[in-house]
Amino acid sequence: MKTYFASFLFLLAVLAIASAATLESELANYVERNETYSVEVLTANGTNYSLIKIGGTPSLVFNTNNELETTPAIIDAVAEAHSMQRINALRQTEGFQNLGMHFQAVYDEFMLCDETSKPVLEPTMVDYYSLAFGGNDPRIRSAYADLRAHNASLHVLFAELKTSVDRMAGLNGKALYDELGVMVTKSAESQVHLTNYSEATSYLRTYFGDDFAIPAKNVFRYICQLGSTSMASFSNDLSIRSSIPIASDIATQIKAGTEARSPKAGLRKKVAELAVDYNNAMTKVNSAKKQFPIGEAFLSQKQNELTTAFQRLNSTNASNPTATLDLIKAFNLTRDSLGATIASLERQYPAYTEAATAVDTAKQTMAAARERFGRNDERVTSFQTQANTLSNRFSVAEDGVRTGSANATELVEIKAIALNITGSLNSLAPKENTVDYVTIGVIATIIVGFLGLIVYALKFRKKSAPSPSRQASFARELREIR
């Protein structure tokens, strides 16, 4: 059996791969930092199991895959195997091996004492000794009565003890434990009777001494004083009963330990799983910061939040299950938020780069148009207004990309507008190479108006010219005047 000091550390490299967990790393989920535990390998129903004693108490059972066993039948079988192993070990102890020998010494001593004392305990002898040595002393009669009563009880008890000692050699487990319990009880009862027996013989000795003889009755006996040394040794041997583990009691302890420790262990395993998530998230976010420079600052902020959430969770060691559950929830939310930001960048970044390129091209084309056509060209002014509006719209979308909240559709629309502006600007030509339909319209109107005036003037002149007869009359009048 090997003993370890439990040190609960969330070593990510160990706990990250559950399938490769050692028994020690698995036990870190179940054993508190200030507790010690021992591991005892047992075979039950042909399979090896590890019985874990925490602070000396059987508490958990693990299979060869270092998985906790919760099946009652398996726990019962392991408890039985542990009990048998301990009993077999106890059989090799000096106390167990001396049990029969020490009882035999007690039994032989009692039988010898009984044999030597028997003549003086016969009814006729009681009367004789009472008259010859005790006179009218009433104590001597009660002493004889006590001797006879306790002697009879001791015969019964020692006979039963001898039967138990003989039967004990073939017993195991709870049967052996129960038989030893019977022996402990009868041994204690024997001690009471022996004490009273001793008191009675002690009183009689004041009359008879240790040795006496009644030649007339052919009695050469003495009332023995039963020694206590052998009985004390036998009683001490019986103390091994407290060392015998009872399978049913062990199973009860294991089941209770399993039930009590599993909730925290489950939380600690969950934290170990989240440690894997944390490592994966750190790897992914570091890669994303390189892949998507525009989101680096926001990703770093999210990364720091996740690190803080995990550190808080990891430091609790699931000492408070309710608080740990809250911290797990907070970690999950932070991790998911970071994951959503990265996923958004992955979705939006292609559209963003295309939109950014299109907007930049539109700006460059706009600058070239201003140089080519002049800032006062109304065409350039119109497109400049459109370009400014597009630039503002793109800035808002770009902020959304940084925080993972942009809309890819918006970026596609911005790209389309930018391409349209660029195409329109590229199709502009200098004014001298273009037809100014407005000017043509004005000139045409002027020409048409002028032609109209000419036509009108001609018509008016025609109408106002004198007729030939009128002209002749006018000539005559003129000559007459002259």
Higher pLDDT, 445 or 230: 230
Task: Work out the average pLDDT over 76-84.
Answer: 92
Highest mean pLDDT among 87-91, 175-179, 188-192, 325-329: 325-329
Cβ neighbours around 434 below 10 Å, total: 10
Q: Is the pLDDT of residue 64 over 90?
A: yes
Confidence of residue 12 (pLDDT cuts 50, 70, 90): very low
Q: Is the pLDDT of residue 417 over 50?
A: yes
Percent of the chain with pLDDT over 90: 43
The reported pLDDT for the residue numbered 14 is 39
C-alpha span between 359 and 365 (Å, rounded): 10
The reported pLDDT for the residue numbered 1 is 42
Task: Work out the average pLDDT over 25-45.
Answer: 93
Q: Is the pLDDT of residue 320 over 90?
A: no
**The two structure tokens encoding residue 438:** 């407005």
The reported pLDDT for the residue numbered 177 is 83
The reported pLDDT for the residue numbered 233 is 82
Bridge partner list, 61 = 51
Q: Is the pLDDT of residue 359 over 90?
A: yes
Mean pLDDT lowest among 135-139, 371-375, 408-412: 135-139
Q: Which residues of 167-187 are buried (b: 16+ CB within 10 A; e: fewer)?
A: ebeeeebbebbebbeebeebb
Cβ neighbours around 349 below 10 Å, total: 19
C-alpha span between 449 and 330 (Å, rounded): 85
**Sheet architecture: strand order including 2-5:** 2-5, 36-44, 47-54, 57-62
The reported pLDDT for the residue numbered 290 is 94
Higher pLDDT, 354 or 221: 354
Q: Is the pLDDT of residue 446 over 50?
A: yes
Rg (the chain; Cα; Å): 59
The reported pLDDT for the residue numbered 57 is 94
Mean pLDDT of the chain: 81
Bridge partner list, 68 = 62
Task: Work out the average pLDDT over 368-381.
Answer: 86
Q: Is the pLDDT of residue 128 over 70?
A: no
Mean pLDDT lowest among 116-125, 158-167, 282-291, 408-417: 116-125
The reported pLDDT for the residue numbered 253 is 96
Closest by Cα among 135, 117, 140 to 219: 117
C-alpha dist (Å) from residue 466 to 5, 117, 474: 143, 199, 10
**The two structure tokens encoding residue 341:** 């930001």
Q: Is the pLDDT of residue 131 over 90?
A: no
The reported pLDDT for the residue numbered 356 is 92
- The values of phi and psi at residue 42, to 5°, are -130, 155
The reported pLDDT for the residue numbered 462 is 58
- The values of phi and psi at residue 452, to 5°, are -65, -40
Task: Work out the average pLDDT over 110-128.
Answer: 69
The reported pLDDT for the residue numbered 227 is 60
Q: Is the pLDDT of residue 239 over 60?
A: yes
Q: Is the pLDDT of residue 31 over 60?
A: yes
Please report which helix (H) or strand (E) contains residue 137, including its range.
none
Higher pLDDT, 224 or 76: 76
The reported pLDDT for the residue numbered 265 is 93
Higher pLDDT, 252 or 468: 252
Confidence of residue 16 (pLDDT cuts 50, 70, 90): very low
